[in-house]
Amino acid sequence: MATPELERILARHRRDPLQLLQILIEVQAREAWLAPATLSAIADALGVPRARVESTASFYSFLHTRPAGEFRILFSDNITDRMLGNQALMKSLCDKLWLEPGKVSEDGLVSVDTTSCTGMCDQGPAALANGRTITRLTPARIDEMAHLIRRRVPVGDWPPEWFHVDDNIRRRDVLLDHGLAPGNALAAALDRGPTGLLGEIERSGLRGRGGAGFGSDIKWRSCRDAWGDAHYVICNADEGEPGTFKDRVLLASHFDLVVDGMCIAGMAIGANKGFIYLRGEYRYLLDRLETRLAQRREQGLLGRNILGRGFSFDIEIHLGAGAYICGEESALIESLEGKPGKPRIRPPFPVTNGYRGQPSTVNNVETLALAALIAVHGGEWFRAIGTPASTGTKLLSVSGDVERPGIYEFPFGVTVAEVLEAAGARDTQAVTSAGAAGHCLAADEFDRRIAFEDVATGGSIMVFDHSRDMFEVARNFLHFFAHESCGFCTPCRVGTAVNARLMDKLAADRGSPYDLEEMARMHRLMQGASHCGLGNTATIALEDILAKFRPAFERRLHSPEYEPAFDLDAALTQARRMTGRDDAGAHLGDNREALAAERAHGQGNPASAEPASAKDLQP
Amino acid sequence: MNDSFLLDGEDIPFTPGQTVMQAATAAGKYIPHLCWHPDFAAHGSCKLCTVKIGGRFATACTVRASAGQEVENRTEELDAKRRTLLQLLFVEGNHFCPSCEKSGDCALQATAYEMGMLTPHFDHFYPDRPVDASHPDVLLEFNRCIMCELCVRASRDVDGKNVFALAGRGTKSHLIVNSESGQLADTDFAATDRAAEVCPVGVILKKRVGFAVPIGRRTYDLKPISAAGTEGEREDAADKTALREKEAG
Ligand SMILES: Cc1cc2nc3c(=O)[nH]c(=O)nc-3n(C[C@H](O)[C@H](O)[C@H](O)COP(=O)(O)O)c2cc1C
Ligand code: SF4
Ligand code: SF4
């Protein structure tokens, strides 16, 4: 890299080590990858150990510490992308470019790989080309893409319609129909003052929309009461849960309401500074959002002395770089501070020890937008919507086997069946209630209600009709978690990998009931022993799918007994070749036949056929 | 009046601010652990010290002791989970104990004995992690790293050098050193650093002292880790050094 260019980037970030991730993202945008010398130069300039820079650079999927190709194509690999045919498209692109997935072409031109859900499930199959989102891939688009890459046409010059992202709003309620002008809610909140506003939030019964449903008034009050040099508002726009894309639509089309919500939170907790942590997959929104923030500053709706009312609050947008775990609030804060996104020890919680160790509230995009509505209409108004324990409406991202995928705003308490009906689902076999990390419902549960007290959701509703293989759904989820585990704690780091391997073993028709018990055992370990929500929720859907759709697994069992993951006889192929033997004695008989024969003779003792490892103690 | 809590039914006194692990260790009780060390801030990553407090799982090294707590530690349920955690650590790396210089002094091995782990149980991952022998006095055998970050903490907090860090994510997590070449020889690491002696397994090994104490007479050959690894941790370390000096003649 030309040193002046690096200098400019470093200067813009005040050579602040907390800006390390942002610096790495910008440097890579120019360099395509982060060379060892580049990492050293950055470490020197920031005055931090080089190992710390490498640690961050190597944690995030979208940062490359090895050459990654001039064109880097990543196919979104959520189950909904798979259902829409992403695998065939990826294979076709690889074939056309003479590539192996995950490897850079020999001339250094291009690499093709998969990435976790990009949040485009309503208009997939999707991909990222040098970080830019492409929707609705088709075989024709893949053909053309191969041509463009071979002719080295910069991604910026590719057909603009490829990058078009629709909102697909299908049902509006109080939030999506708010009709407020920018700053309206903020003015209303300033009229109420911090105490008045917190009272309304409490009366509203607002619970966080990021998944856990924590009472927003409690969070804000404890943050306000926490002593610190500064307080911070953090908007969690990481939206990494497979199948969720509601925050994307709020940011794209209701950004002013979200910003009003952040300012309001700032007023409530006594903060002057806010951050939006925007997932790397939504990079395409960044310039638009920055522009809008600048306009608001000019309009007196952000920055110093907002609306001339003596309240100052400003917002900085930080980009993520491909790590689902950064949605977890303490990991998000680590990432904001330029570090790998690994969850912190809690307590202390962010409300007392957050960004820079100062009191911080982390809220979901939708929560902040709703807080803005409450500032205008009051808590009673909000509480009249939804159910007593789950007030207000919920944005649902609906995708999969439905006629009309997109965003549906429903009051809490709506049944799953009503959502399916609205979206045009037919012959539905199963529904995820909270993406890969939540429960999976079978048809006899569709009369259940979406609400914290029944079917809790962050908003990811993926629908599977009877043509779908639920085993493949579970397998996709387990690979997702194995890929996204931050690696900090043993049960999740290794447990997710063991699960993914077991599913591949089953998929290769080498599984046994024993392997299913292994996964159940992993579930028991990971739930409770894991450090954060990722490991604690990673096997919930698996557990449900195993229990409710067991035939999908049983179909794949090769034998009723233990099976090794590898084919013993095939493993001897090379030895046979080397020794020039191919007689019967050089082959291992088919395990299954041998077992069947033994059993037929009534002398089968399955335990003795098991290798030692299968006899180990079971928790 | 002293504050106390119950650990497997026994009264354990504590001073306010102490964690369950600190209080238990001070009382001579063993809570299995790998990433915790009395001299360093808690990390809470290995999860071996998972206990049950009031029916909920928590890591003893990070949770504060409080009066009247009922802590379950060495129950069959918890030890079974620990066995599984150990098995996961064993298959994730490449641990060939019979050929490892750390055998007998290794906390991973000793804890596995203590927990009655008989086999690795899971299919091995067989990671490919080349050894770094570049440094004149110290060898890095990355294949055995359990990601406890003790060396990271020791180098950063005691030596003030930041020689080590963990890089990567998930199962791609791996130890790195602070040099552009990636080689230990190109860092300011010294065999006298605190980080050179904290590794609980056989990753950071001093050259030319291997097998000075023969296998069979090493720390955990003499006492199980439940006896050697708690409050006597440092005294034993001193014993060991004395023994080693004697053996070396
Ligand atoms: C692995 C993991 C990923 C998460 N991802 C998100 C996310 O993308 N967006 C989000 O708002 N919350 C996410 N959360 C929840 C946050 O930690 C946090 O609870 C939430 O942002 C709080 O906001 P709320 O109170 O407004 O719901 C995630 C949690 C975990 C454990
Ligand atoms: S549970 Fe998984 S994601 Fe969470 S800290 Fe542990 S390894 Fe990281
Ligand atoms: S090298 Fe040793 S001390 Fe360092 S992280 Fe690995 S196992 Fe822990």
Note the ipTM here: 0.93
Reply yes or no on whether the pLDDT at B249 is more than 90.
no
The DSSP symbol for A278 reads: E
Nearest CA to ligand 3 atom 6: B145
Q: Which residue out of A344, A498, A521, A530 would a mutagenesis test of the B interface target, given it has the greatest number of B Cβ atoms within 10 Å?
A: A498
What's this model's pTM, rounded to 2 decimal places? 0.92
Say if residue B232's pLDDT is above 50. Answer: no
* Mean of per-residue pLDDT scores for chain A: 93
Mean pLDDT of A391-419: 98
Whether cis (ω within 30° of 0) applies to the bond prior to A350 is no
Point out the least confidently predicted range of A26-35, A550-559, B67-76, B165-174: A550-559
Indicate the top mutation candidate among A329, A330, A361, A488 to test ligand 1's pocket, ranked by most ligand atoms within 8 A of CB. Answer: A329
Residue A140 Rama label (left phi>0; alpha psi -120 to 50; beta) = alpha
Return the residue of B nearest to A63 by Cα: B168
**pLDDT of B44 strictly over 80:** yes
Whether the per-residue pLDDT at A48 is higher than 70: the answer is: yes
> Using H for helix, E for strand and C for coil, what is the string for A117-132?
CCCCHHHCCCEEECCE
Q: What is the pLDDT of residues A305-342, one digit of tens each?
A: 999 999 999 999 999 999 999 999 999 999 999 999 99
The band of A1, judged by pLDDT with boundaries at 50, 70 and 90, is low
Using CA atoms, how far apart are residues B144 and A117, in angstroms rounded to an integer? 33
Handedness of CA A7, A11, A15, A18 (dihedral sign): negative
- Portion of chain B with pLDDT greater than 90, in percent: 81
Mean pLDDT to the nearest integer, B146-160:
97
- Give me the residues paired with residue B166 across strands: B175
Residue A538 confidence (pLDDT) above 60: yes
The more confident residue out of B208 and A582 is B208
Examine the pLDDT at A611 and tell me if it is beyond 60: no
**Which residues lie below 8 Å from residue B31, measured CB to CB, with a gap of 6+?**
B7, B20, B21, B24, B25, B49, B51, B60, B73
Atom of ligand 1 nearest to the CA of A214: 25
Crossing angle between the packed helical segments A513-529 and A490-507, to the nearest 10 degrees: 160
Ligand 2 atom index nearest CA of A530 = 1
Average pLDDT over residues B239-244: 50
Centre of ligand 2 to C-alpha A112, Å, is 28
> Which of A173-182, A595-604, B41-50, B216-225 is predicted least confidently?
A595-604
Strand order in the sheet with B56-59: B10-14, B3-7, B70-72, B50-53, B56-59
Note the helical H segments in chain B.
Answer: 20-26, 76-92, 107-114, 150-153, 219-222, 225-228, 233-248
**pLDDT in the model for residue A579:** 78
Q: Are strands B70-72 and A71-76 parallel, antiparallel or unpaired?
A: unpaired
Question: Does the pLDDT of residue A283 top 90, yes or no?
Answer: yes
What confidence tier does B215 reach under pLDDT thresholds 50, 70, 90?
Answer: confident
Q: Rounded to an integer, what distance in angstroms lies between the CA atom of residue B240 and that of residue A616?
A: 34
Contact B167 A55 (CB under 8 A): yes
Nearest Cβ partner for A494 among B48, B62, B92: B92
* Predicted local distance difference test score (pLDDT) of residue A587: 76
What are the pLDDT digits (tens) for A208-252? 999 889 999 999 999 999 999 999 999 999 999 999 999 999 999
